[in-house]
Amino acid sequence: MGVSTNLRGNRVLRWLAVVPGALLCVIVVMFPIHWVVMFSYAHGEHYDNRTLLAALEPQTLEFFVRAFIVPFVFIAAGAKIAPKLRFRVAVVLAFLLLPLYGWAATFIASDIQQGVYTPGRWVRLAFTILLCIGGVFVGLLYAKRLSRQELAVQ
């Protein structure tokens, strides 16, 4: 009886840790992204001058990498932490990102109304949206794979 109760307690703790654990993973992952981008630019180890990425400032490159990595890590880590129903958890986590993106959209809409959006900012916005969608999609694919592995074990 003690082992069964302990396993049930672990499941409850894992369910409680899904969102905080996913957020913690996002925070932890953001530091190495910053270090790698800044280190590569500081030592001239970024791309040669003929590539598109060489034209980007380090802050812009870091911003684009984060746009993809943050939703991916949030969804993938949360699905990995969940004790079961991993794909469903991933879908819920993806929907939890919507208020954050809605909040950001209010600032973007305000900037657009003020006329501060240049063609370059429109391109950056479009690319950022595509990267965010890609991060969500890849995170959901990863969770789907975890879910299939979970079913195969049972």
Give the contacts of 54 (CB within 8 A, at least 6 positions apart): 46, 47, 48
pLDDT, tens only, 23-52 = 999 999 998 888 888 877 776 655 555 555
pLDDT recorded at residue 120? 81
Does residue 6 register a pLDDT over 70? no
Q: Which two three-digit tokens encode residue 111?
A: 């900037």
Q: Which residue has the higher pLDDT, 61 or 55?
A: 61
How far is 93 from 79, CA to CA, in rounded Å? Answer: 8
Q: Of 69, 68, 67, 86, which is closest to residue 18 (Cα–Cα)?
A: 86
Per-residue model confidence as pLDDT tens digits over 126-135: 999 999 999 9
pLDDT tens, residue by residue, 74-130:
999 999 999 889 999 999 999 999 998 889 888 888 888 888 878 888 888 899 999
**What pLDDT is stored for residue 46 in this prediction?**
54
Count of other CB atoms within 10 angstroms of residue 151: 11
Residue type present at position 25 = C
